Every structure is written in C-alpha cells, then in structure tokens.
Structure 1
Amino acid sequence: MGQTRFLIVTRPARGGTDGAGAPRTVWRLLGANNRELGRCLTDFPDQESCRQAVTFLCENIERANPLIMRAQPATLWVWRLEVDEVPLALSARAYRRQRECLYNLALFRAAVLNTDTTKVLPHLVRTTLRNRVELAAQ
C-alpha cells in the first residue's frame, strides 16, 4: 500500500465555448488508497504557486482553524480549514453525518502532518478533447 501524497494538476480553463481563459492549477491530498482526502479552495496561476500553498498548509496545519458547516442540500456536512481567516483546504466531499465529517477532518490533518512534501507527485496536465485535436494537428 502507498503513502499519502499531494497531487498537483493543471486543468484547461472553464468558461466560454471558445475555450478562452487561463488554465488553472490545483492541489489535492490523496490517501494511501488513492482516495481524495481534501483539496484547495482556490485555483493557482502556475505550478510553483500551488506548491508554495501546499508548503504553507503543511507548515501551518497545527494552527489551522477548522470550520464545520452544512452544505447544500442542508442535510450534508463539509469541513474547511483556515489560517488567519484565509481558507486553505476543503473536504473532498460532503458527509451525511457530522461525526463522519469530523472524523475525516481529523484524517486529513493527520495525513498532512505525515506527508513528505518533498514527494509531491509530478505535475499533471489535463487536456480537453479539443486541445488534443489541436495538438495532433500541429
């Protein structure tokens, strides 16, 4: 079985039908079983700024304030971590029970503490079918 690790992914921009816009880079924390434990709240302009955010999260995880809140529909629960009122991480999914949400928050925090940030997975770039066709035509 593997170890927990951060995954950094750059995705094509969402938006208009012409595909215009800048790509966005995000991080996710994956568990040993490849299940997503948590993710960033914001998009980053490039891989380096995303890596810096991962490092900041790891350095400040112990002083991060957890927020447990209801999601839509109001029967589900999500967690969020903030440092100095700046949101850093969000639960990967919503939970049916508050205790499940709290448990998974604890798992995320423990995973961040035990993850070697020097082993961030290689940067992946996701493309759309349209981008693949344009690249193939070149």
Structure 2
Amino acid sequence: MADRLTQLQDAVDQLANQFVASIYYVNKHHDLQTLSATDSVRDTKKENEGAQRDPQDVEPLPAQQFKDGQRELAQDLITKEQQIEFLISVLPGLENSEKDQERMIKQLEEDLKVAEEQRKQALKEKEAVLARLEGVLRNVKRP
C-alpha cells in the first residue's frame, strides 16, 4: 500500500480529473438557452453541414437527465473531497508543533541507542554461551 502522501497526491489528481470531467459534461450537455434578450444561440449545425462533425458540439440532454447527471457529478466531487480531508487528517504530526516533533525524534534516537546496546550485549552473551557449549561438546567422551 502506498504511503499517505502518495495516497493524498493520487486523490488530488483524481479530484482534478473529476473537475475536468464535470466541466466537459456541463459544456457538452447543457441546454442552449438565452440568458437575456440580447443573447442569441447560433445554429452551428447549419454552419457545419457537409463538414465533419466537431466533437465540441453541444448535445443537450433532457432537463431532468441533465440535472441528475450534475447531481451525480457533484456527489462524486464531494465524496472525493471528503476522502482528501480524511487523508489530511491522518497525516502524522498535524497535532504536534515542530519542537514537539524534534523532541520525539531525539527520544526515538535515544531509544534506538539503548536498543543497539542491548543487541550488542545479547550478541556477546550468545558468543559466550556458544563458546561454553563448544567446550562442553569437546569434553564429552564417547563410551
């Protein structure tokens, strides 16, 4: 499993892709309506007759289907944003100041030194026990 920062970066990338897909959906499937009396809607189909179809043409969807699509896209965006918030909340160190983190690192370094000394002592004991065992085995005589 990837580390938390990689997961966060992947989630942010996915959110950006979802934004682009949402904008494309709205641009592609909106209803051609005028917003004021001075606006007009061009009939691009008549202008492009005989020419190859432009992939950017608007294909209006029925109003309810368009709204349902927008609602689904919005829910997906919200879900992804919540995932990002969760990933941010579980990042280590957010509740600790820099000095607290430095203190914890120093404490961990001291714990590591103690553990290393214990390991070295255990190795010495192992060598001593092994030497004693070899001595005992050499002194054993066959009947």
> Which has more helix, going by share of residues?
2
TM-score scaled to structure 1, two decimals?
A: 0.26
Greater Rg by CA: 2
Structure of greater relative contact order (alpha carbons < 8 Å, 6+ residues apart): 2
> Which has more strand, going by share of residues?
1
